[in-house]
Amino acid sequence: MAVGILVPSVSIIGQLIGAITVSIIAVVSGIAIYGSLKALNLLRVDEEVEEVGLDESLYEMDVYPEVPIGSGESS
């Protein structure tokens, strides 16, 4: 809203300070959460799960059964 512009008793400087403060808090919180997840090794799956595929390892099903796997040549 344009309260800082339309209402003379409200300072636009105060609103800018508030917006900057909230932005800093959000960035610091995000970095803290990311850092803790990275420290606990919760951001990536294991290499074998990555090779097999997350859908197949979690749900034990082929997500795209109509898409052939391989070179397309039958042996």
**What's the rounded Cα separation, in Å, for the pair 59 and 9?**
59
In the three-class reduction of DSSP (H, G, I as helix; E, B as strand; rest coil), residue 44 is classed as: coil
Residue spans per domain, the chain:
23-60
pLDDT the model gives residue 20: 97
Phi, psi of 66 (to 5 degrees): -80, -10
pLDDT the model gives residue 75: 52
**What's the rounded Cα separation, in Å, for the pair 47 and 68?**
23
pLDDT in tens, the chain (75 residues): 566 667 777 778 888 999 999 999 999 999 999 999 999 999 888 888 888 888 788 887 777 767 666 665 655
- Contact predicate 57/49, CB 8 Å: yes
pLDDT the model gives residue 67: 65
60 secondary structure, DSSP code: -
